[in-house]
Structure 1
């Protein structure tokens, strides 16, 4: 039983570390604010959540595992939403997309809302 638990913990630690590494590489290598925020929120959330689950399984105590699961769920629900709100705030503040980006749905939506307000 201890061997199975150790394998699960090792797998979760390796997977969490890999996702965290991918997120950090994405933050350094991607060209604009929005791409970096995407890498940090998606891969960083999964990496941190897997590391949190590894700690919960390693403790081998149900209350600690329950707290780790609750923290994982809370983190998965809140991190992408906060990244989305930060990206919207950055867009409203004037940070533009890089040239390779082909669509700006926020600008399109803002222009439609402004034209609707002007018509009424």
Structure 2
């Protein structure tokens, strides 16, 4: 982190403004927002089809299973798939950068605590 960013605010405010933290937020948002939109669209499609395309959703596929049942089960499958994709994304793209940011925050916070203790003990 540059010296000009060390001058103002708390440790957390300075790191929040850092390039590393901003990149971490960008990486998270690049995954989370599109995936959330896609899942909500998929869920809305299921709800809309269930409400207004009953004939289509009632089509038997095999035995007593119809399209509605399969779509409903696919909601669970897609939820687990998204969770798995997010875990993979976090492990590869987010965690290394988050570890770096956390290490910097912890180091700087510890240094500030030492400085504060030193000032409190200094009788001048």
What TM-score do you get using the length of structure 2 for normalisation? 0.43
Tell me which of the two structures has the higher relative contact order, counting C-alpha pairs closer than 8 angstroms and 6 or more residues apart: 2
Which of the two has higher C-alpha Rg? 2
Higher strand share: 2
